[in-house]
Amino acid sequence: MAKLAGSSFPLANRIAGGAGEAFDFAAWFEAWSASQGIEAGTTLPTHLKVEAADTFEAMIPWEQLREAAVQFALDGTPLPKGGPVRLYVPHGSSECLNVKSVIAFKFVHNEEKRGEASYGFKQTFSADELRLKR
């Protein structure tokens, strides 16, 4: 992901007291979209759903991701804690939108919920999810 984003920066550039290396989420999304053949100007998602290894989930309004940073390394090595990556959303509507141990990013189009953030631990699981070891 970091390579696709094109460049990285010290996390402290966006998060006071932050340590390690990060990349810009918006730059990554733009590069990822192009790699998938998604044309520029296509309607952006309304939300980013972030899933963590500990079953925490956050639904983040797209507008709050303008300065989002994805931490991927500490002192040049993979995150020893809170990895594989960690999402930081400066100026988000809640500190709970900063999610550690991210295992999935999902793009959501839901106009009815536009602008609404939600977060918490997942409460229901499918049979397949129960069989998975995270």
Report the predicted TM-score, pTM, of the whole model to 2 decimal places.
Answer: 0.88
Confidence of residue 130 (pLDDT cuts 50, 70, 90): low
Q: pLDDT tens digit string along 44-94? A: 999 999 999 999 999 999 999 999 999 999 999 999 999 999 999 999 999
How large is the C-alpha radius of gyration of the chain?
Answer: 15
pLDDT bucket at 131, cuts 50 / 70 / 90:
confident
Residue 134 has pLDDT above 70, yes or no: no
Which helix (H) or strand (E) segment holds residue 130: the answer is helix 127-131
pLDDT of residue 133: 56
What is the DSSP code string of 101-118? Answer: EEEEEEEE--GGGTT--E
From the CB of residue 57, how many other CB atoms can be counted at a distance below 10 Å? 17
Upstream peptide bond of 78 is cis (omega within 30 degrees of 0)? no
Count CB neighbours of 121 within 10 A.
Answer: 9
Question: Confidence band (pLDDT; 50, 70, 90) for 111?
Answer: very high
